[in-house]
Structure 1
Amino acid sequence: MGGVLLYLSSGVLYAWKEYSSVSETRSSTLSELHRAIGYGGFIHNFKNYVLRKDTTLLQELGEDLEQSSRVINKYSDLDLNAEELSALSVISGTLSQYKENVEVATEAIHRGESPAEIDRYVRVDDQPALAAFGIMQQQNKQYTESVGQVMQERINQLMNTLLIGLLAMPFVVLAAFHYHRVMNRFVALMIEKRQVERVLEDTAAEVAEVQEKHLAMAYEAHHCELTRVPNRKAFMKKGQQILDDVASKSKCLTVLFVDVDDFKAINDNFGHEAGDLVLVEVANRLTVALREGDFVARIGGDEFAMIVQCPESGANSQRLAERLLDVMNQSYEHLAEGLSVSCSVGGAVFPEEGEDLAALIRVADERMYRVKKSGKNGVFLHES
């Protein structure tokens, strides 16, 4: 409400200032024009100055006419109607003629001509200018009355709005009071909501942290910390799942045991750090050799186990194991200068040589040790 009153008040004040400025300009201009062309004005003194042959007064008259022309130019900048513009044009033309006559009369006086001779060719009909001046006075009066009526209407509007504002003030105060209560309650609810959100966010973060730790613990529990491949526990669990799936589809499966030959000598001759690098390299090569459905794990010290699925019986298992041995026997010089590594591989084929994982592991482990006893760096899958 206060804003509306302020807006209306400023509008009335602005209109009043504008009206006052325009009215002042109109009044000063009409006064100047009256001084120029009104009865008793200085253009009526023109003939007297000519008769008296007073060039000084004529010069002053010319300056007065110049001043009147400037006033007319200022007046023409106002928002005038068509009648005012037409009247102003007539007055301006009359003043221009008088300015020319002042110059002509002054020159004639200097030439010694008589007043009667001068009067013949400097006559000016000033009646149209007087009539135009009357029109401008009438138009100015109408303007003043019109603007006064508009100003009165604006003041009445302001007073009516003020009255309505005073009558509505109790309701505004009551509404503001209830609005304040509602906003306080709203702010309190928003604070409570944010507190609940923070609790939920903290809880979610804690749950995520617990889940992450659980996943990390589960991963560590089923993977070798050094080589990052699955450990013996994971091999037994995953191996049994693969075995059950293969059995249901009547397919072939081979369990391979891979043991690094003379691993103790590697540690003794090249250091335990080099030995760790060998285990990591062996794990990487076995992982790269995996096909879809195969599985590799480190089941202890320098021993690795693989489950290899084959589409037919164990006929292809021997060739697969030999290719794997070739991969394992490739150079290890990049790990340590002079380092040479070989592996012994033993295997068992499902279902011919065992119907459960434990039996297959036992057979593969025995055959791997038989390879070691017979010279190492070899493969043993089938009894000859």
Structure 2
Amino acid sequence: MAPVLDRPRVLERSRELVEPALRAAVGELHPWPRRMASYALGWCDADGVPLPGGGGKGVRPALVVLGTEAVGVAAEHAVPAAVAVELVHTFSLVHDDVMDGDERRRHRASAWQAFGTGPAVLAGDALFALAVETLAGGGRHGAAAVRRVGAALRELVAGQADDLLFEDRPWTGPEAVAVAEYEAMAAGKTGSLLACALALGPVLGGAPAPLVEVLARAGRELGTAFQAVDDLLGIWGDPAATGKPVLADLVRGKKTLPVLAALAAGTAASRRLAVLLGAGTALDPATAAEAAVLVEEAGGRQFALDRARGCADAAREYFTHAPFRQEVVGELLELTDFLVDRRL
């Protein structure tokens, strides 16, 4: 993969713009879900003690800000839209960790590990309700913005449902998960929210529908690229950067794009990989390391990387061929590069 790029300036700029409103919104919750939500956002430890830094990378709020600026909509519409998107994103992570049984998130215990399954579900529900409330109070176009988020969530849920169902399907044979199926799942699970992020501020500001849809299409491509990179990091990522154990996705037996592409390649390495994965038992670290070598030999790693870069190129085409503000297009392209070439 390419060398790590510097963090785009828009990440910090959007954090400064959005975080005060985000903290104020979360501050309106009941004290218990408020503490759990603050923990999930990276603002405090499990005891509620404040932590330095601002939590996650802030990619989605940055996309909201840039999408809003790209069409010349006032920044006042970017803030509630960005708050809502970050609340929805955090809600989805909290619930996903419960469903997937993931015990770690951002280098520490996931919310359900820190507080229990029921309380974590409650915190996720509170974040979702707060997102809807935030948008509904967004002025004349608040209802349209709520509909946009609702449609994104419907796609996200469908993608997550498919992802969970994939776990029970075999690695090979007529019932195996096809690469095209996986990519459709990723477009829903990850692409839908990034599409919403780019489009939501313009919707809240009443921007022309054709421009909104171009941004949404670009966001969907970015989301698909983002998921492909996540899949690469789930096997070959540095645990110090990802916060997950080495070879985590292979050890867990998770169906991801590099593995599915490798199995579909029809090579000798593909067949050896199918034998390893089809044994019906969890992979130990040594076997997972062997599987990772076979995935790479069968071309799965390169396939996922090419897919990420191809989707990013498609997003760049949308950004550069629409009548967006040119100075904002430059920042969108910079953020696109960061998302595809990231190590985190």
TM-score range, shorter chain: under 0.3
**Higher relative contact order structure (alpha carbons within 8 Å, sequence separation ≥ 6):** 2
Kindly indicate which of the two structures has a greater share of residues assigned to strand: 1
TM-score by length of 2: 0.23
For the pair shown, the structure with the greater C-alpha radius of gyration is 1
TM-score by length of 1: 0.21
